[in-house]
Amino acid sequence: MTFRQAVYLARPHTLPASIAPIVVALILAGFHTHLNILTAILTLAVGVGAQVVSNVANDLFDFKKGADGKKRQGFERPISSGKLSYSEVKAFLFVTVGFTSLTGLVLVALTSPWLLLVGLAVIAGAIAYTGGPYPLAYHGLGEVMVFLFYGLIAGCITYFIQCQTLTWEAVTLASSMGLASCNILIVNNYRDIEEDTTSGKRTIFVRFGKQLAPKLYMSNLLLSILLLFPFYSIIGMLSSGIYLAQMMYVQRVMARTEGEQLNNVLVQTARGVVFLALNVAFVLIIHYAISPHWGELHHHH
pLDDT digits (tens, 9 = 90+) for 149-183: 999 999 999 999 999 999 999 999 999 999 999 99
Distance of alpha carbon 279 from alpha carbon 180, whole angstroms: 13
pTM assigned to the model: 0.89
Report the pLDDT value the prediction gives residue 291, as an integer from 0 to 100.
65
Distance of alpha carbon 271 from alpha carbon 247, whole angstroms: 10
Cα dist from 231 to 77, 121, 176, 243, 284, whole Å: 41, 31, 12, 16, 7
pLDDT digits (tens, 9 = 90+) for 219-250: 999 999 999 988 888 888 888 999 999 999 99
Distance of alpha carbon 120 from alpha carbon 200, whole angstroms: 28
Band of pLDDT at residue 205, cut at 50, 70 and 90: very high
Angle between helices 37-64 and 154-163 (to 10 degrees): 160
Contact 196/289 with Cβ under 8 angstroms? no
Band of pLDDT at residue 1, cut at 50, 70 and 90: confident
Distance of alpha carbon 185 from alpha carbon 143, whole angstroms: 7
